[in-house]
Amino acid sequence: MLDYQAGETLLIDKPLGWTSFDVVNKIRWNIKQKLNVKKIKVGHAGTLDPLATGLLIICTGKNTKLIEGMIGEDKEYTGTILLGKTTPSYDLETAFDQEFEVPPASMEELESIRLSFLGEQEQVPPIYSAKQVNGKRAYEYAREGIELTLKPNTIKISLFDIDATNYPEITFIIKCSKGTYIRSLAHDFGKKAGVGGTLISLRRTKSGSFSIEESNSMENWLEEMSI
């Protein structure tokens, strides 16, 4: 049996619609019930948006000390960008606010845009993000209709491959550094294409040395806890 109090690292395939904190809270509550304890440390190593799925690293007990190092490791994602439409949140959390005609694009044009994202660069986070600004989350200002200009992050993209078979949808695989917002990349990709863009799906497949293939679903983990 796993020793959650001494420290474990769990690899969870986060379900669509759950926040990262939903997963942490669900796991913490079930461990406390199983062990009949009042307290146990549980945390995650890198937030996933509610509309994203995939690898979420959960640490318990003394393993929570490993979280800071894990957060700093490169991540890999797959997903889909829809060209021709934009939303304020850069994903489907908010409704489409602009629509553009999408002319046929050559692979040369798309390849040029793809290459422009490789390497170290400055990236502005989405206004609908959890960035702290004067003690409040940026998304709180956004929901109040208050305009903000967020400071850019220095990020690095070491892999960015695209497939335009279902154009104007662009599927991709990306490997990137800590602090990279894939929603901002989708928005910027659309801007460079001149037609706007929205992230419509996202899945984390790797985090550091851990892979989604090693993960467990929440459903399976809860079943194992009940045995």
CA distance 15 to 17: 6
CA dihedral (32, 37, 39, 44) in degrees, to 10, reads -30
CA-based end-to-end distance of the chain: 11
CA dihedral (154, 56, 203, 196) in degrees, to 10, reads -40
Which amino acid is present at 77?
Answer: Y
Domains plus CATH for the chain? 9-72+209-226 (3.30.2350.10), 75-207 (3.30.2350.10)
CA distance 189 to 116: 9
* Segment (H or E) for 42: strand 42-44
What is the number of residues in the chain? Answer: 227
DSSP state of 146: -
Q: Is 126 exposed, middle or buried (0-12, 13-18, 19+ CB in 10 A)?
A: buried
The one catalytic residue among 49, 74, 163, 188? 49
User: Which parts of the chain register pLDDT below 50?
Assistant: none
SS3 5: coil
Q: Phi and psi at residue 166, in whole multiples of 5°?
A: -105, 30
The β-bridge partners of 175 are: 76, 159
pLDDT of residue 227: 64
Q: Is the dihedral of CA 50, 53, 57, 59 positive or negative?
A: positive
- Token pair, residue 187, equals 């928005």
Q: Which of 190, 10, 184 is nearest to 100 (CA)?
A: 190
CB of 163 within 8 A of CB of 172?
Answer: yes
pTM over 0.85: yes
CA distance 100 to 197: 10
91 labelled catalytic: no
Q: Which of 35, 54, 36 is nearest to 44 (CA)?
A: 54
